[in-house]
Amino acid sequence: MSLDDRVAGISCREVLAQLGDYQDGGLAADARAALEAHVGACANCAAFGGAYGGLVARLRERLTPRDLDAERAARLAARLAQDE
């Protein structure tokens, strides 16, 4: 199977191009429906779309910023206090 194969009226190449907008909620309703119909019938795009969305979720979950540790915060406060 290649990116040029058409399933449910659109190609895998078009799905790849639109996947970002789909993830971000930026696709128009008809384009969204076409993409979902394709993904529902194309195993490669279904797996890829799942990985793409899952990776975005992992970014949010795993890279949560932590507070400054006490020593680093103290050095920053001291540096700012020097600037009168």
Partner 1 sequence: MPDQADDRELMIRAAAGDRPAFAALVDRYGGRVFHLARALVRDDATAEDVLQDTFLAAWRTAASYRGDGAVASWLYAIARHAAHRRARRADQIATDDRSLEALGAAAGWGQPDVLDVVARGEDRAQLEAAMAALPDDDRLALWLHHVLDQTFDDTARVLGCSVAAVKSRLHRARLALAASLRQGGDHVAR
Binding residues for partner 1, per CB under 8 A?
1, 3, 12-13, 16-17, 19-21, 23-24, 26, 44-45, 47-48, 50-52, 54-56, 58-60, 62-68, 72-73, 75-77, 79-80, 83
* Residue given tokens 């799905």 in the structure block: 15
Q: Which is nearer to partner 1, 6 or 13 (CB)?
A: 13
> Around Cβ 81, how many Cβ atoms within 10 Å?
8
For residue 21, the minimal CB distance to partner 1 (Å) is 7
Q: Of 21, 51, 53, 50, which Cα lies nearest the Cα of 34? A: 21
